[in-house]
Structure 1
Amino acid sequence: MNPTEFAAAQWTRATGAGVDPHEYRRVTDGLTSVTDWGPSFRATGRAYLQRAEDAGSPLSAGEYLLTAARWFHLATLAPYAEAPRAAVEADHALSRAFAVLEPGARRVSGDGFTGWLRGPADGRGTVVVVPGLDSAKEEFLDLASALLARGLAVFAMDGPGQGVLAAATSLRPDYERVVGRVVDALGVARVGIVGLSLGGYFAARTAALEPRVAAVATVSGPFRLDWEELPPPVRDIMIRRAGGADAARDFAHHVDLAGLAPRIAAPLLVVDGGRDVIPGVTNGASLARLAPLGGYLSVPHGDHLLGNARPDWLPHLGDHMARTLTATPA
C-alpha cells in the first residue's frame, strides 16, 4: 500500500481520535513511503511536547500534551521498528497531561494491565474502556469525555499486547481474567465495559464470564474471525501482537461469540458501521440477537470504529452506559 492509500485508510480513525484534520493532511501529504509514517508522526508529537514547554498557561500545556499523546499513539499504526518507543512516548505524554489537567486522575496497574482512572469517586458507576488489536488508551479520549460528562468514572486501559504493554506482552483471548484483576484493583462492586474493534470481543467475552459486569457496549467488535480470510495487513498486525504466526492463528480461532453471547446477562449495546466490511470478520448483529438483553445500532454510513459518524452513536452509547449503571441492581 502506498502512503496516500494508507493515510486515506486511517483518516477517520485518526480524526476520530482527536487530531486536527488539517494537520493530519499536512503531515501525511509529505510522506513518500509508509515507512515514513512512524518517524513523521513522532516528529509531530515531539513538536507538541515543545509547545507544551513553551505554553503560556498550565491549561494550554496540558492540552498540547494530550495532542502529543494522540500523535505518538498514531505513530504505532504503521510497521515501524521504533513503534514500542512511540507507545512509551504516548504513555508518558498522557501521564504528564493528566498531572496538569486532572491531578485527581489515578494510575492503576497490575498483572497484564495499566491505565488511568478518572472521574468522581462517588460517581454513578465505573466504566472500563478496552482497546483493540492495535489501539490503546490514548486513542479513545473523546469516548472517555462522553462518559465522564454523564457522571461516570472511567478506567481507560492497555491490556496484554496493547499500547504501552505491547512490547513486553502478547494478546490473549481470556481477557476476562485481566478485567477481573482490574475490577479487584479498582475496588468497585460492579462495572460497565466498552470495547472497541477487537476490544468489542474482549468486552462481550468478559460480560459473559465476569459476573461483576453490569453494562456492556461494543463498537465495531467482531462476532467471529476467520483467519484464512483476514486481509494480510490485519494478519500481520495480529502476528506481531500475538507473538508469532501460530499464536496469532490460534488466537483468531478463539474469537467466536456464538457460545458466549447467550450468557451475557447485562444489558448490551452493539454498534456497527454499515461500511465496516473487513474480509474474515463477522460483525456484531449476531451478538446482539443472541444476547438476552442485546440491542443493535447499525449506522449505514459508518466505517470501522465509526470515526466518520460520531454523532450517530457516541451520545447513544454514553446514555446506555449511564442509564444502565444507574439502575438499581436486581
Structure 2
Amino acid sequence: MRRLIPTGEVTRGDTRVVGHPPQGNRADFAAAEFVAAQWSRATGAGIDPHEYRRVTEGLESLDDWGPAFRRTGLGYVERAADAGSVVSAGEYLLMAARWLHVATLAPYAQAHRAAAEADDALGRGLALLEPGARRVSGEEFTGWLRGPADAAGTVIVVPGLDSAKEEFLDLVSALLARGLAVFAMDGPGQGVLAATTTIRPDYHRVVGRVIDALGVTRVGVIGLSLGGYYAAETAALEPRVAAASTVSGPFRLSWEELPQPVRDILVRRAGGAEAARGFASQVDLTALAPRITAPLLAVDGGRDVIPGVTNGERLARLAPHGTHLSVPHGDHLLGNARADWLPLVTDWITRTLTGVTA
C-alpha cells in the first residue's frame, strides 16, 4: 500500500461553524448544530455559502430545514422558467436540483417529494445543457449517462447513505472535463429511489446490472461516504471494475457505537430498526479487501471521525493494489478540502482507466 499525503496543507478556521453561536431553547440549539454540521457538505455540493447562510440563519428547529431548502430550490426552478437563455435556464435547474436534494438531509415529511423534484430538475437541466445525456434505469437503479459516446473510459459515481446523484455534480463535471463518460446513479434506498426501495449491502449486484445496461466491458467506480463501501464491495466481486476509488468510505460499521443520528438515518433507509442493524453488521470489508484485484485509491479526511466507523486506511492496506490518500484537515466528504483530493482522484482514475493523463 502506498500512502499519499498532500503537501501545502492550508490552515484555516473551522468552516463548519456558521452564523452566531446557538442561543435559546433546545430546538434552536439542535438546528444550529445541524446547520453547522452540514455547512461543508452543502457547500461542497455546489451550494453558494452566502446563500446557505441566508437560508439557514432563521431556522428555529430542524423541522424548518426541509421546507426552507425546498422553497429555495423551487425558487431556482422559477428562475429557470424566466431565464433569458437556454444556458441560464439549465444552470438554474441544476442549482435547483442541489437545493432540493439537500432539503432531504434532515427528517422531513416531504423528503420523497423533494427528492423527486430534485430528480426532475436535474433531468430538465441536462436536457437543456447536454441534449446527448441519456437516462438509464433498471431494477433498483436510475441515473444519467453523460459524456462522449466514444469515451476511452466510463466511470460510475455511487452515492452514500442519504446522498444522491444530485449531490456530486461537480465531481461528474471534473470527470467529464477529462474526456470520460460518467454514469451518476441512485441505487437502492438512495435519491429518487428512496421512496420505493431500501438499502442493501450486496450493492455489486446492482452495479452489475448498471454495467450490463451501459453496454461496456470495464468501468471505474467512485463511491462517496457509504458509497465508498459499495464501491469497494463491488470492486471485490464484480470483475468488470478496472479501477475504484472511495471518498470518506467506511471499512466497517459497528452498530453499538454509531451515533444515534446515523442510526436514525439507517433505520429510515433500511425500512426498520432490525433491518438497519442487520445492514450495519454486513458492512465489513475485512474479507473482501484482499479480493480487490483492480487498482484502488481510498481517500480520507483526518477530521472525519465518526464513532463506530472505521475509515479507509485499512482498506488500502489490505487491497493488493491499494493507495491511501490522507487529507489531514479534511472532514467527511472533504467538502472543506476539495482542491486536495478532487483533481487527484479524477486524474488518477482517468490515467488508470485509459493510460492517458488528461
TM-score class, shorter:
over 0.9
For the pair 1:243 / 2:309, whether they are aligned, the reply is no
In 2, Cα distance between equivalents of 1:30 and 1:42? 15
Match of 1:204 in 2: 232
1:2 Cα deviation from its structure 2 partner: 1.6
276, 284, 287: which one pairs with 1:256? 284
- Give matches, 1:98-247, under 5 Å: 98-247=126-275
Match of 2:102 in 1: 74
Q: Deviations over 1:22-76 (max 9, x none)?
A: 0000000011111000000000011101100110000000000000000000000
In 1, Cα distance between equivalents of 2:151 and 2:159? 23
Match of 1:270 in 2: 298
SS of equivalent residue, structure 1 residue 228 = coil
1:77 Cα deviation from its structure 2 partner: 0.1
Match of 2:93 in 1: 65
In 2, Cα distance between equivalents of 1:3 and 1:68? 23
In 1, Cα distance between equivalents of 2:212 and 2:74? 36
For the pair 1:321 / 2:333, whether they are aligned, the reply is no
In 2, Cα distance between equivalents of 1:71 and 1:254? 32
SS of equivalent residue, structure 1 residue 116 = strand
In 1, Cα distance between equivalents of 2:248 and 2:53? 25
Q: Deviations over 1:99-149 (max 9, x none)?
A: 000000000000000000000111120000000000000000010011111
SS of equivalent residue, structure 1 residue 288 = helix
1:256 Cα deviation from its structure 2 partner: 0.4
For the pair 1:292 / 2:320, whether they are aligned, the reply is yes
For the pair 1:40 / 2:63, whether they are aligned, the reply is no
**Mind listing any 5+ residue stretches in structure 1 that lack a counterpart?**
none
TM-score normalised over the length of structure 1: 0.99
What's the RMSD between the two structures over aligned residues?
A: 0.8
Letter in structure 1 aligned against 2:221: I
Aligned residues: 328
46, 54, 57: which one pairs with 1:26? 54
Letter in structure 2 aligned against 1:158: D
Which stretches of structure 1, 4 residues or longer, exceed 3 Å deviation after superposition? none
Letter in structure 2 aligned against 1:283: N
Match of 1:307 in 2: 335
Letter in structure 2 aligned against 1:68: A
SS of equivalent residue, structure 1 residue 157 = strand
In 2, Cα distance between equivalents of 1:215 and 1:198? 18
Match of 2:118 in 1: 90
Letter in structure 1 aligned against 2:135: R
SS of equivalent residue, structure 2 residue 167 = coil
**Mind listing any 5+ residue stretches in structure 2 that lack a counterpart?**
1-28
In 2, Cα distance between equivalents of 1:2 and 1:257? 34
Letter in structure 2 aligned against 1:153: A
In 1, Cα distance between equivalents of 2:229 and 2:33? 28
Letter in structure 1 aligned against 2:227: G
Match of 2:32 in 1: 4
Q: Which has the higher contact order (CA 8 A, sep 6+)?
A: 2
Letter in structure 2 aligned against 1:301: H
In 1, Cα distance between equivalents of 2:118 and 2:80? 14
